[in-house]
Amino acid sequence: MSVSVNNELKITKVICGELCQSNFCTSEIVNLLNNDNGEIAANVSTKFDKFVDRPQELPDKIVDLLQIAAYVFCADRSAYRGARDSLSNKSWGRSMYFEIPVNDISFWSSDEVIHTLENALGFMTGDRQYHFTFIKANKNNIKDCEYQLSLFSNATTSIDVVDKVDVMLFSGGLDSLAGIIERLNQFPDRKLCLVSHMSNNRTKKTQKALIAELQKKYNNRILPYFFECRFKKLDSREESQRTRMFLFSAIAFAICSCYNKSGFFIYENGITSINLPKQTDVMNARASRTTHPKTIGLLHEFYKIFDANFKIATPYFKLTKEEIVDVFKTYGEEVLIQSSVSCSSTRNYHDIFPHCGCCSQCIDRRFAMYATGLAEDFDNTFAVKVPYDKLNKEANQRVSSTLLFASNGIGETKYDFLKNYPTELLDVISYWPNSPENSLDEIFQLYCKYKDSIQRAAKAMQASFNSTSSQEGSFFDRISQKLDYEKCEQDEFEQCVESSVYVIENKGNEMRQGSGFYLVDYGVLTSQHLTGNGDFYYISNYNEYPASFETISNDLNEICEDDVLDYALYDQYCNCTHYFRIGDSDTLKIGDQVKLIGFPNFIKGDSYDLRCTEICKKTNLFGAPLFAVTYNVFHGASGGIVLDKDNRIVGIIRAGIETAAESDSFDKPGFVPINLVISDIDKKGG
């Protein structure tokens, strides 16, 4: 894989096992040792110790796989991605270069193996790049270990029993617990091997208690397999743990090969797996992809290289979380719901209330429990008691965006849906086990069920609510007010765009088209490079285009302009009834969400082009400050409006500069901050 290296691309080199010269870790070099290497002490603890009876029978390449997965997981945790609003936001996408010693070098040096592995990890993590160099090992780390006891050494797992064992991943959450209950009930003569990862004492405790409960109820038909993998002497800095699924699946794969099985199960509902970004964070690249159909598809491709018949089954992909809760009802196991933990918050852990109530997993669970009518009786495990208690700001936003997504994020038809999420859905469809058209149908149906479920849950919360016990800012407040409010807000937004963001074009031989908008108390603002040539330009509301209602030109009504800041202001008030208010661009930070609205390549009947993106850099273009954004800005959007998260004007889109000398501006899509424009206008006597 070729790499273009520039100064901004941060590369983390990860040196593993016997190749390490030290056990230090910096942001550039991470040294990972599973075993002491001479004088150098191990810094990674992996416990595959009770894995196989006769380790010499585990193929080398599978021993290597476990080792690689452990290194990748630890490297993932050591290379920090940066806080969301910090200046190091760019470090979110990392480039990881691994050097790993392996036993089966002929297998691991194959291009297909390396390429498939790099692809799977790249998608799963959202990182820029994974790059692997494998080197022939001199020492055989796992096989030389002294603690080789066997998972299978206990008397119950004779060969014919093993025949009746299924392998599944177990997270301790609601979905995998439902999967266990369903399998144990549907297949009363089969056992289940549950593969779990001990990430901390809290999950360990919860999972062990739950398994003990299940053993009692289901006649010891569970074979738990816990593994550990963690840093010994370092504090793990990165909490997102996106490579967890690789480690998890590698263990399950290795267990399958011991049992001579050609597949394992992952029970996770489709909505959580697909994890479409909600409207308020459309460009949030951080949405988890742990069980995304593409992640599972790419992992499947990888494991097929080891075993052509290997399968990863995901029986719950077509179900919503509400339907998962229904599984507990079906088998009369509602009481077990409280023993499962969905919460992803690592802070504020509480023994009695294992759910924080505020993270997105907690909120999803709450909605699902209300939709099924079980919330009040079977799930009192929340530290913040929704819908009654006051939620923090982030949780409030999550509730709002969930409701908004259910009310209008999905669309009325599958084609609306596809239009709302073209790239995200394409990723899902490509790995959905059906033809593209049928896949889109199935995924749309899944989301329709979800929409219905959220709306019923909201009504159930309202119905169960007793106003005397609520606090202001509670979940309930959100539910009842937000639905009306969001609708009004959305209508207001549409009216503002219709009324105050314009298509601007001349009607000469050489048609030039761009965008402009109404800046309250000043006039019509557009790009100087668009209208600066002295032609007459016509202003249209996009929904009435090509009819225009006003004309602007240099001589006729220009108030002022600036070619460095690239704006031109015209004396036009447009009888604008709805317009966006002016915000403060000085407060914008790297990573802040902004909306860019303009009319690139506009033709009659089109709608406006809205890009939700984020500020990735503060830079300069032709001597003027420019806030670069991650999304491409297309020609014709220049002169368009830039809004902050509260829909206040914070800039004017700068793009589509036409002369060859300026062509590199395409590398820097962005906008000029509105405060600079306004202070220039004020100076020039606008």
CB of 243 to Zn ion, least distance (A): 22
Only one of the segments 109-117, 141-149, 344-352, 435-443 lies at the binding site for Zn ion (rule: CB under 5 A); that segment is 344-352
Local structure of residue 334 (DSSP, 8 states): G
CB of 325 to Zn ion, least distance (A): 17
Kindly list the distances between the CA atom of residue 656 and the CA atoms of 257, 258, 509, 617, 638, in Å, as whole numbers in the listed order.
56, 60, 19, 19, 6
Alpha helix positions (H), 153-311:
159-162, 174-186, 201-217, 244-259, 270-274, 293-306
Only one of the segments 89-97, 228-236, 342-350, 390-398 lies at the binding site for Zn ion (rule: CB under 5 A); that segment is 342-350
* Beta strands across the sheet bearing 29-32: 29-32, 11-16, 95-102, 129-136
Only one of the segments 188-196, 325-333, 343-351, 408-416 lies at the binding site for Zn ion (rule: CB under 5 A); that segment is 343-351
CB nearer to Zn ion: pick between 62 and 384: 384
The whole-angstrom separation of Cα 165 and Cα 398 is 40
Only one of the segments 135-143, 238-246, 356-364, 668-676 lies at the binding site for Zn ion (rule: CB under 5 A); that segment is 356-364
CB nearer to Zn ion: pick between 354 and 651: 354
Over the Cα atoms of the chain, what is R_g? 29
Tell whether residue 343 is a contact of Zn ion (CB under 5 A): yes
Non-local CB neighbours of 320 within 8 Å, separated by 6+ positions: 269, 270, 271, 368, 446, 449, 450, 453
CB nearer to Zn ion: pick between 345 and 557: 345
- Cβ–Cβ under 8 Å, residues 643 and 649: yes
CB nearer to Zn ion: pick between 56 and 200: 200
The whole-angstrom separation of Cα 628 and Cα 507 is 31
> With b meaning 16 or more CB within 10 Å and e meaning fewer, what string describes 69-94?
bbbbbbbbbbbbbbeeeeeebbbbbb
CB of 289 to Zn ion, least distance (A): 19
Tell whether residue 345 is a contact of Zn ion (CB under 5 A): yes
CB of 464 to Zn ion, least distance (A): 21
Tell whether residue 100 is a contact of Zn ion (CB under 5 A): no
Total residues at interface with Zn ion (CB under 5 A): 5
The whole-angstrom separation of Cα 221 and Cα 190 is 7
CB nearer to Zn ion: pick between 223 and 359: 359
Pick from 30, 109, 106: which is nearest to 72 by CA? 30
Residue 273, φ and ψ in degrees, nearest 5: -65, -50
Q: How far apart are the first and last CA of the chain?
A: 54
Which residues in 360-389 contact Zn ion (CB under 5 A)?
362
CB of 357 to Zn ion, least distance (A): 6
* Structure-token pair, residue 267: 């029970």
Between vectors from CA 565 to CA 559 and to CA 570, what angle results, nearest 5°? 20
Local structure of residue 482 (DSSP, 8 states): I
The C-alpha torsion from 479 through 480 and 482 to 483, rounded to 10°, is 100
CB nearer to Zn ion: pick between 394 and 682: 394
CB of 347 to Zn ion, least distance (A): 10
CB nearer to Zn ion: pick between 81 and 365: 365
Only one of the segments 352-360, 436-444, 500-508, 558-566 lies at the binding site for Zn ion (rule: CB under 5 A); that segment is 352-360
Tell whether residue 629 is a contact of Zn ion (CB under 5 A): no
CB nearer to Zn ion: pick between 357 and 514: 357
CB of 668 to Zn ion, least distance (A): 39
CB of 174 to Zn ion, least distance (A): 12
CB nearer to Zn ion: pick between 359 and 496: 359
Tell whether residue 359 is a contact of Zn ion (CB under 5 A): yes
CB nearer to Zn ion: pick between 356 and 458: 356
Only one of the segments 345-353, 375-383, 548-556, 592-600 lies at the binding site for Zn ion (rule: CB under 5 A); that segment is 345-353
The whole-angstrom separation of Cα 387 and Cα 245 is 32
CB of 386 to Zn ion, least distance (A): 11
Site for Zn ion, rule CB under 5 A: 343, 345, 356, 359, 362
